[in-house]
């Protein structure tokens, strides 16, 4: 019998509330092996987060400018450097018991990099449903596409795996965000490569929810799980 992952589309939620939700869910999953895994999907108001390897010099606005423009800044316990979250971006937080999940699939205990590659593959396959050729870029995490400006990142990934094998944080797929907000940071600390969005690649606007079903289809296939979600989630 396949593992069940409960899915929630939370629409837009402030970062602190979503982070608390992640921590509460991860703690419950750690305490009770019978708790189901969960995939939280949402958007955030404009927020910059810096991970454990974050460098403040990659944030290009001072405190006064950040406050004036309504940006929130948070240091968090995921991997990676600085990234942006905002409306028009599909953020996914898989809170998974990776020991249970990977053993059920017949694998040895997963390492950090194996899980990262699986998340990348979910996004690559989701983009393929929209005829977008996403892929990996040597030396970097996340999902990239070739553009007239060269390789640009379309999805960032930053995760945490606890000593008990519980995952938190996750991915941020640029569907149709305000791309000017990326100009205030060095995204993921990577100089020389830009960022793009699904809307830019397709040259047409589309809602964040347009990527929900492609992401769910790919997630279910890659992780070989059964997703449990309300029919109202997909419209």
Rounded Cα distance between 83 and 49, Å, is: 6
CATH code, 105: 3.30.930.10
Question: What distance in Å separates the CA atoms of residue 12 and residue 27, rounded to the nearest whole number?
Answer: 23
First vs last Cα of the chain: how many Å apart?
28
For residue 108, the model assigns a pLDDT of 74
Q: Is 139 exposed, middle or buried (0-12, 13-18, 19+ CB in 10 A)?
A: exposed
The pLDDT of 187-204, averaged and rounded, is: 94
Task: Answer yes or no: is pLDDT of 155 > 90.
Answer: yes
C-beta of residue 136 within 8 angstroms of C-beta of residue 144: yes
Residue 110 pLDDT greater than 80, yes or no? no
Mean pLDDT for 46-69 is 95
Please tell me which residue in 29, 41, 126, 188 is annotated as part of the active site. Answer: 188
Q: pLDDT band for 33, please (50, 70, 90 cuts).
A: confident
- Where is pLDDT greater, at 107 or 171? 171
CA distances from 35 to 25, 38, 146 (A): 9, 9, 41
Give the whole-angstrom CA distance, residue 228 versus residue 6.
5
Given a cut of 70, whether residue 233 has pLDDT beyond it is: no
Half-sphere exposure in the Cβ direction for 74 (13 Å, CA):
18
Where in the sequence is the domain holding 114, given as residue range(s)? 4-233
Whether 188 is a known active-site residue: answer yes
**Number of separate domains in the chain:** 1
pLDDT tens digit string along 116-150? 999 999 999 999 999 999 999 999 999 999 999 99
Mean pLDDT of 103-124: 87
| 145 close to 136: Cβ distance less than 8 angstroms | no
Judged against a pLDDT cut of 80, whether residue 13 lies above it is answered with: yes
Strands laid side by side in the 47-50 sheet = 72-75, 47-50, 82-85
pLDDT band at residue 232, thresholds of 50, 70 and 90?
A: low
Confidence of residue 59 (pLDDT cuts 50, 70, 90): very high
């Amino acid at each position: 019998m396949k593992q069940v992952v409960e899915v929630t589309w939370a629409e837009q939620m402030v970062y602190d509330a979503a982070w608390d939700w992640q921590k509460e869910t991860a703690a419950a999953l750690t305490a009770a092996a019978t708790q189901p895994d969960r995939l939280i999907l949402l958007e955030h108001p404009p927020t910059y987060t810096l991970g454990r390897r974050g460098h403040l010099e990659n944030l290009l606005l001072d405190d006064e400018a950040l406050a004036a423009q309504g940006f929130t800044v948070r240091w968090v316990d995921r991997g990676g450097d600085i990234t942006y979250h905002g409306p028009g971006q599909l953020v996914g937080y898989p809170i998974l018991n990776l020991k249970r999940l990977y053993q059920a699939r017949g694998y040895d205990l997963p390492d950090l990099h194996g899980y990262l590659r699986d998340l990348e593959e979910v996004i690559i396959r989701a983009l393929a449903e929209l005829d977008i050729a996403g892929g990996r870029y040597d030396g970097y995490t996340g999902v990239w596409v070739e553009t007239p400006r060269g390789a640009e990142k379309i999805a960032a990934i930053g995760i945490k795996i606890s000593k008990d094998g519980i995952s938190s944080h996750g991915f941020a797929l640029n569907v149709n965000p305000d791309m000017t907000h990326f100009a205030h940071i060095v995204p993921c600390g990577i100089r020389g490569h830009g960022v793009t969005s699904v809307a830019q690649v397709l040259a047409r606007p589309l809602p964040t929810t347009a990527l929900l079903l492609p992401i769910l289809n790919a997630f279910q296939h890659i992780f070989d799980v059964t997703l449990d979600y309300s029919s109202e989630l997909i419209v």
